[in-house]
Structure 1
Amino acid sequence: MKKNLKNLGLAVLAFLLIGGLAACGSGSKESNQSVQKVKIGVVGSDTDVWDTVVKRLKKKNIDVELVKFTDYTQPNAALAEGEIDLNAFQHQIFLDNYNKEHGTKLVSIGNTVNSPLGIYSQKIKKVSQIKKGDTIAIPNDTTNGGRALRLLQTAGLIKVDEAKGYTPTVEDITENKLNLKITELDAAQTARALGDVTASVINGGMAVDAGLNPSKDAIYLEPVNASSKPYVNIIVANEKDKNKKVYQEIVKEYQTKATKEAIKETSKGANVAAWETFGKK
């Protein structure tokens, strides 16, 4: 009888130990599952601002992987195909044009920065030194190319057909008194072309990647005013995912004072915290 009771006691103890270990294992699994992984597509090598956001998000159990692309044609395709969860590289006009051309349903879920377009040169110090027949490089995609032409107009170098709105093309130039030669290049090549052209219109991110300081090196910088809103950079998701709590938490963490300071530091004061100037969305 005593032997049977002893065996029964050992069996109960073993059961409790196994149950306890199983519970510990289950708890560990649940803990791992509580970490939410998110892939965000970005363009270029400069991720300093996002790195600060990623670091803070880890404390909230959100593990963000920044997936780097080399040009503007890739991140939206990757997002639409589910290879990444979000992207952050474009403005609203670019997104609208992409959706129209590709039949995708990608939407903005939050504003990030306004990165002014600039005219840069290794040969002259100011716009007034541009002379007849000079060559100006601009991005070749529809939206950034149109933005570049509008910037050249603001700088007093050309005039474009206002009926074309935000996306005029070279064919829409209505006045070119200096007979400037407008060379269209991939946005990633505009900085590299500086040695071959009189001046080049370069996106803010591409300029920083090339070692340029927009607030000091640009011979003309795009003004930041009410008309700049369509060019505010945004965080983009697939429409079906736009209300996901984890994505909204990422937007919330981006739109903080800490991020604003990082933007100011890394852009040398050239970029603006767009959510403060133009609203959170």
Structure 2
Amino acid sequence: MKKQLLILAAAAVFASALTGCGSSAPSAPAASSAAQSSAAQSASAETPVTVKIGLTGTFNEDIWAPAAEELAAEGINLEFVQFSNFSLPNQALVNGEIDLNAFQHHAFLNNEVTSNGYAITPIGDTYIVAMNVYSNSMSSLDELKDGDQIAVPNDATNEGRALKLLESAGLLTIDPAAGASPEISDITDYKVQVKFVEMDANLVASALPDVAAAVINGNYALDSGLKADDAIFKETEYADDSYFGLIAARTEDAENPVYQRIVEAYQSQKTIDVFNDEFAGFFVPAWTL
């Protein structure tokens, strides 16, 4: 239950990828360019070094634990800095308050770079929080009838993702010009004339008793007691890396060998074991796709 509650902290970044939250977050005083991170200036870990990584949600520290233990033995000490406002970790990275961050997916970072001009570069992928289709009344989407209702998240990023998932199931066709975040108005054809019930991503699972099916983000499915194997249709294919979580560095530090080693340690079977053992398989290792 503790893991299920903690995982809610991830929801805003994957369920509201193009918007920020309003709460405050811990932050250190802005560093001068000359003092921006001794880690960023290190060419190797021959001398012990501390790398500050910005996260959102303490559950991420559990995911990072195997890598942190392995790296500590090599003289690379990871210090995790928690933020509760998803608009802050990239600013903190640019300011030199942290060395890396690992809280966002590519769609979010791309929007941040476009909107704010940040010189930030992805240096490795982390995970995808799977989005699947669930139903209390059907075992297959083939059972859908005209007029049936499907609950979907109402934010732009996740609604588009939900619609594309239903398209991959053969339920509908979306105008290709709509891009990565289509809207209901972009649907050009229906196999079955379903109706969509749009609601906040964190409420979709609660609608299951009242709709034929619901497209639910993995973090909320887990918190609601659902299992990945309960899904009647699963997200297994990704046209691009839009929803892949990532580790980000300042662009000037993207090739830092210490940072590259951190990515290598994270992208391991031990991390996959954490996904499977502690998070019921809802987290998919993005670097394997």
Normalised by the size of structure 2, how large is the TM-score?
Answer: 0.67
Matched, 1:64 2:79: yes
Shift of 1:36: 0.7
Q: Flag the 1:220–1:48 CA change in 2: closer, same or farther, 3 A.
A: farther
Q: Report 1:4-43 matches (<5 A).
A: 34-43=48-57
Letter in 2 for 1:235: I
* Aligned with 2:118 (options 75, 100, 104): 104
> What residue number does 1:49 align with?
63
Query: Is 1:116 aligned to residue 130 of structure 2?
Result: yes
Give the Cα–Cα distance (whole angstroms) in 1 for the partners of residues 52 and 138 of structure 2: 45
Query: What secondary structure sits across from 1:128 in the alignment?
Result: helix
**Residues 171-250 of structure 1 aligned to structure 2 (within 5 Å):** 171-176=185-190, 177-185=192-200, 187-195=201-209, 197-214=211-228, 216-224=229-237, 227=239, 229-250=241-262
SS of the equivalent of 2:126 reads: strand
1:145 aligns to 2:155 (yes or no): no
Distance 1:149 1:44 in 2: 30
Cα deviation for residue 173 of structure 1 reads 1.6
Which whole-Å CA distance do the structure 1 matches of 2:72 and 2:226 have between them?
31
Contact 1:94 1:144 in 2 (8 A): no
Q: Label 1:106 to 1:169 Cα distance change in 2 as closer, same or farther (>3 A).
A: farther
Larger mean Cα displacement after TM superposition, 142-151 or 257-266: 257-266
1:62 Cα deviation after fit? 0.9
Between structures 1 and 2, the one with greater helix share? 1
2:58–2:82: 8 Å Cα contact kept in structure 1?
no
| Equivalent AA in structure 1 for residue 213 of structure 2 | A
Q: Go from structure 1 to structure 2 and tell me whether the alpha carbon gap of 1:63 and 1:229 turns closer, same or farther (over 3 Å shift).
A: closer
User: Which residue number in structure 2 is paired with residue 262 of structure 1?
Assistant: 274
The 1-side partners of 2:155 and 2:243 are apart by 14
Q: Which moved more, 1:249-258 or 1:137-146?
A: 137-146
Query: Retained in 2: the 8 A contact 1:137–1:199?
Result: yes
Distance 2:146 2:134 in 1: 18
Give the secondary structure class of the aligned counterpart of 2:226: coil
Total equivalences in the alignment: 241
Corresponding residue number in structure 2 for 1:165: 179
Coordinate RMSD, CA, aligned: 3.3
Q: 1:128 to 1:54 in 2, by over 3 A?
A: same
Structure 2: gaps of 5 or more residues: 1-46
- Seen in structure 2, the aligned counterparts of structure 1 residues 104 and 266 have a Cα distance that, compared at 3 Å, is same
* TM-score, L = length of structure 1: 0.69
Q: CA deviation at 1:41?
A: 1.3
- Within 2, Cα distance between the matches of 1:173 and 1:63? 46
